[in-house]
Copies of this chain bind each other. A is one copy, B any other.
Amino acid sequence: MSAPAPRASEEALIARYFAPLAGPGGLALADDAAQLSPSPGHDLVLTADAIVAGVHYLADDPPASIARKALGVNLSDLAAKGATPRGFLLTLALQDDWTEAWLAEFARGLGQASTALGCPLLGGDTVRAAGATLVGVTALGEVPAGGMVPRMAAQVGDRICVSGTIGDGALGLRVLQGVDTWTARLNEEARAHLIDRYRHPRPRLALAPILRRHARAAMDVSDGLAGDLAKMLRGGGRGAWVSVPILPLSEAAHAALREAPGLIDTILTGGDDYEILCAVPPDRVDDALAEAGAAGVSLSAIGVVTADGDAPAFTMSDGTERRFAAGSFSHF
């Protein structure tokens, strides 16, 4: 429809940057489709998430970080479903002023993440974006047949658990935006930690088998703890009570809260956590927490599923109770 850009062809770019990342099913990216089948006795689990410059990441984020984030947010979904990654397809829509230097760094970061997470490239498409760059990933994982952990099956009395720490990603974005005065008062280590957490989701793949064994329901926290907890419990007249003082926070988040206590709202409702939120029957909580610790990922009980059909209730450090409107944050 329009003249090709005076740069390498799509085919040349794929051969140079992406073919080296291809797994066996990707056929060296030299065919028109990839092949993949689940291991015997397993189901495939599929998820697709795209990130867009200026919406899900900052346009001047390092290209290797953008690649790592695009893969990470998808594998975070697989981990929450109890799935082991098998491979991914990439849809890369490049804005008009892309450079080969950017693409080389992007591919390098993608290759590192792909190797580290055990998830090879299977195929994809590279197009002109006619606007901001978009990185879309479709990730495929597998679970033992029938073993996918659902989002919606929590029962009253189940303990609500989260992995890692909450709020770092949303605070990291605020640090990068540099508008709030509190961000300047953090030390360099805290700032670096929060930025790293915003840029580099850590899909909690080590939790996948533990979720399959012990969790009744799970999802990843990508749009804020309060909103995603409400999503997990939607329908069926269930609610939740969460104790904010016991929420797992990083040192950096604690430091930010000391500077600006109102940031607790950002921590509870901001996006970009990419931690696991799950509902675990009471008699399984001790095992789940212990096994997670042994697998190198902290898992913390923060509340309980109730028969209260309202938005989840959060008891704050000062003893007051708050409820946040569901969907208070959206990447859309």
Q: Which residues of A line the B interface, CB within 8 A?
A: 1-2, 4-5, 9-11, 25, 27, 30-38, 42-56, 77-78, 80-81, 83, 89-91, 93, 95, 122-132, 134, 136, 138, 140-141, 145, 148, 150-152, 173, 219-220, 231, 327, 330-332
Contacts and interface: CB of A to CB of B under 8 A. Distances in A.
Contacts of A130: 52-55, 131-132
A42 B95 CA distance: 39
Given A47-B123, A48-B90, A55-B127, 17 more contacts: A1-B331, A5-B332, A11-B327, A30-B152, A31-B152, A32-B151, A32-B219, A34-B47, A35-B45, A50-B136, A91-B91, A91-B136, A93-B93, A95-B131, A125-B136, A128-B332, A131-B132
Contacts of A330: 4, 9-10
A330 B331 CA distance: 32
A11 B136 CA distance: 19
- Counting every copy of the chain, the complex holds 2
B332 A123 contact: no
A31 B78 CA distance: 11
B151 A55 contact: no
Contacts of A51: 127
A145 B36 CA distance: 11
Contacts of A331: 1, 10, 127-128
A5 B55 CA distance: 12
12 contacts: A4-B330, A10-B330, A31-B151, A33-B47, A33-B78, A33-B81, A35-B148, A47-B89, A48-B123, A48-B125, A50-B93, A138-B138
A125 B2 CA distance: 28
Nearest to A142: B37
Nearest to A151: B31
